[in-house]
A and B are shown apart, each in its own frame.
Chain A
Amino acid sequence: MLIKQAPDIPSHEITDEKLYRERRRFLQQAAAAGLLLAPGLNAWPQESKKKLGPLKKGPFSTVEKVTSYKDITRYNNFYEFGTDKSDPADNAKNFRTRPWTITVEGEAKRPATYQLEDFIKPYALEERIYRLRCVEAWSMVIPWVGFPLNEIIKRAEPTSRAKYVQFTTLLDPKQMPGQRPGLLGAGLDWPYVEGLRLDEAMHPLAIFAVGLYGEVLPNQNGAPLRLVVPWKYGFKSIKSIVKMTFTESEPPTTWSKANPREYGFYSNVNPAVDHPRWSQAYETRVGEDSFLSRLTRKRKTLSFNGYADQVASLYAGMDLKKFF
């Protein structure tokens, strides 16, 4: 297998930070000026809605009815942009997803910092239609575009000490109003962090998503790069990732830091283990289970969100009530 190495850059080619910032400012101002001059062009945010392709059909896709684009992009939990479901779509409109860098560090033989484009380039984009089950007992079916997370991990070459991988979301209170101090924030510790055991992260179901519905990922869905682990509750699938850290011990995760009694590190979808405040036995399929349909039937939540055949073996011998 060809493993692309992060290039060693001779020091004379590295741009002085001051110069770099000046260039950035120039580009931003030029872009802003361009916007003013050509208001019809809608140049910013230029990335969303752009077609991705050609896509290969990935494995594990469900044939269930896909949730509408509108519901997927208007009903979001992304507390960095506000706690109402409709906040992210409104507040993430002007979120800048370029330039974007991702740092791979920790217990890995090839730590590196990549530009987003270089990070993704070596991998063929696939469509993966997955169920998503939120800890709040609603679910969707989402046609993600992405590539297996294990490709990235193989490229990083974790050392023998690496047992976990932690992911970190961008920290930028200027752009993310939810991260600002005070009551406006959701009372969470920013930046958002999440983690997986290394064998979970290596599982072929786990992907990095860069799009949905064949298009570049909308900002409110975690652009430009997010994790998707469909057998876990939605909050494990961390959004707008800027850092991956390989660690020896279990990394802290945002929701379990906020409330360890209610949110565990594993957070596998499990109808048999209730959230302390509500049952996880049933779910509402967003946009599909209407008010009227709910009068007569309920939709059962499946163990590991229906991916038990693929992932249950990862947890053989573990007490899933204890490691919830």
Chain B
Amino acid sequence: MMPPSARAISVAKVFVFAFALIPFALLVRMVLTDQLGPNPIETLNRFTGDWTLRFLLITLAVTPLRQITGWQYLIRIRRMLGLFAFFYVCLHFLSWLWIDKLFDVDEIVKDVIKRPFITVGFTCFVLLIPLAVTSTQGMVRRLGGGRWRALHRLVYAIGIGGVVHFWWLVKSDIREPLIYATILAILLGYRLWAYRRRLPARAVSPA
């Protein structure tokens, strides 16, 4: 198959960008039309949290999809997807900080220290910041490919942490977190499998 032209990739990027903004547009509409339901805080937290996890998983799906299909150009939209995960986690964090906690520092510190699900969620948010900051071409160059890749492997831990954060939040019905956990396990499991398959090849290759 012919690789798509630079123009085709630009067009694709615009489409992905627009699609990735749909949840945000829905959220804005829900807020403006007072459609957040009986418990707006819960709706807001859940909505932004759900979309963070979804974008994290979509981002993590790029590499396996690229390797399986051979569509190398998929890599060109990965950064945008990752940044959308960061965008939604910022909304999620803000909704917790402001609407849930009303910037009450005591409460926030207590929550982060005492509640494992918040500890995990907060840690994941903090870990995502350096990934977002170093996502530009300039930063990739400055860090060097090897170090950049090593740093960005943090996203595996963040993915796991995100699912754990959701799992520990639910009272007893684990079906939804289980779906996310399964998808994540497949995406990370694929990497492990692909890595192990490459190992023997590497072992015999000249140093």
Q: What number of A residues sit within 8 Å (CB to CB) of B?
A: 32
Residue of B nearest to A187 (CB): B172
Residue of A nearest to B116 (CB): A277
With A278-B115, A279-B107, A291-B40 known as contacts, the answer to whether A187 contacts B99 (CB < 8 A) is: no
With A138-B39, A186-B173, A279-B107 known as contacts, the answer to whether A294 contacts B99 (CB < 8 A) is: yes
B110 contacts A by Cβ under 8 Å? yes
Query: Of the 9-residue stretches A15-23, A157-165, A282-290, A303-311, which lies at the interface with chain B?
Result: A282-290
CB distance from A20 to the nearest CB of B (A): 37
Q: Which residues of B contact A75 (CB under 8 A)?
A: 37-39
Residue of A nearest to B39 (CB): A138
CB distance from A75 to the nearest CB of B (A): 4
B175 contacts A by Cβ under 8 Å? yes
B18-44 at interface with A (beta carbon < 8 Å): 31, 34, 36-42, 44
B125 contacts A by Cβ under 8 Å? no
B111 contacts A by Cβ under 8 Å? yes
Q: Which residues of B contact A74 (CB under 8 A)?
A: 38
A1 contacts B by Cβ under 8 Å? no
Q: Write the A181-204 contact mask toward B (1 if CB under 8 angstroms, else 0).
A: 001101110000000000000000
With A186-B173, A187-B172, A277-B169 known as contacts, the answer to whether A291 contacts B44 (CB < 8 A) is: yes
Report the bound CA distance from A296 to B110 in whole Å. 21
Report the bound CA distance from A297 to B101 in whole Å. 10
B183 contacts A by Cβ under 8 Å? no
> For the complex, would chain A's binding face be called helix, strand, loop or mixed by DSSP majority?
loop
CB distance from A33 to the nearest CB of B (A): 38
A83 contacts B by Cβ under 8 Å? yes
B92-150 at interface with A (beta carbon < 8 Å): 98-99, 102, 107, 110-111, 114-117
Report the bound CA distance from A154 to B37 in whole Å. 42
Q: Is the CB of A294 within 8 A of B172?
A: no
Q: Which of B31, B39, B102, B114 contacts A284 (CB 8 A)?
A: B39
Residue of B nearest to A74 (CB): B38
Q: Is the CB of B40 within 8 A of A294?
A: yes
A272 contacts B by Cβ under 8 Å? no
Q: Is the CB of B40 within 8 A of A290?
A: yes
Residue of B nearest to A297 (CB): B102
Q: Which of B38, B172, B175 contacts A71 (CB 8 A)?
A: B38
Q: Which residues of A contact B171 (CB under 8 A)?
A: 136, 186
Q: Which of B99, B116, B174 contacts A295 (CB 8 A)?
A: B99
Report the bound CA distance from A298 to B116 in whole Å. 24
CB distance from B23 to the nearest CB of A (A): 17
Q: Which residues of A contact B172 (CB under 8 A)?
A: 79, 83, 186-188, 258-259
A274 contacts B by Cβ under 8 Å? yes
Q: Which of A71, A276, A286, A297 contacts B115 (CB 8 A)?
A: A276
Q: Which residues of B contact A291 (CB under 8 A)?
A: 31, 34, 36, 40-41, 44, 99
Q: Is the CB of B102 within 8 A of A298?
A: yes
What are 14 A-to-B residue pairs whose CB atoms are below 8 Å? A79-B173, A83-B175, A136-B42, A138-B38, A183-B175, A187-B174, A258-B172, A279-B107, A284-B39, A284-B40, A287-B38, A289-B40, A294-B99, A296-B102
Nearest 6 pairs of A and B residues by beta carbon: A83-B173, A291-B40, A75-B38, A286-B38, A186-B173, A71-B38
